[in-house]
């Protein structure tokens, strides 16, 4: 008896990651933050638009990072008092 194989779904575009469909038209990669497989075109762009950011981060995680402010507080440098 064979078990049904369910294809993985891209978290960004909600389309299937079929080997016969995506392997020759871009492929897929795993997001470094959420550990989900997404299409290569659904990864966030790097400094150059046709290259992808490293570490590989999907567009959903990148937008979540942009909304969340950094946790490091801004402090002013200490001021030297006269000599």
pLDDT digits (tens, 9 = 90+) for 40-60: 888 888 888 778 888 889 999
Residues 6+ apart with CB under 8 A from 8: 16, 17, 37
How many domains is the chain built from? 1
pTM of the model: 0.64
Q: Is residue 43 part of a domain?
A: yes
- Which residues constitute the domain of residue 23? 19-66
The per-residue pLDDT for 69 is 66
Q: What is the mean pLDDT of residues 24-50?
A: 84
Please give the C-alpha separations between residue 78 and each of 55, 75, 81, in angstroms, as whole numbers: 35, 9, 9
Q: Is residue 31 part of a domain?
A: yes
Q: Is residue 56 part of a domain?
A: yes
Q: Is residue 58 part of a domain?
A: yes
User: What is the rounded average pLDDT for all residues in the chain?
Assistant: 78
Q: Is residue 53 part of a domain?
A: yes
Confidence at 27, pLDDT banded by 50, 70, 90: confident
Q: Is residue 60 part of a domain?
A: yes
Q: Is residue 72 part of a domain?
A: no
Q: Is residue 13 part of a domain?
A: no
The per-residue pLDDT for 24 is 60
């Amino acid at each position: 008896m064979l078990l049904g194989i369910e294809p993985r779904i891209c978290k960004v575009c909600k389309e299937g990651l079929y080997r016969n469909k995506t392997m020759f038209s871009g492929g897929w990669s795993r997001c470094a933050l959420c550990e989900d497989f997404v299409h290569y075109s659904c990864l966030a762009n790097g400094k150059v638009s046709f290259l992808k950011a490293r570490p590989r981060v999907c567009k959903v995680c990148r937008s979540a990072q942009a909304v969340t402010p950094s946790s490091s507080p801004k402090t002013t440098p200490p001021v030297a008092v006269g000599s």
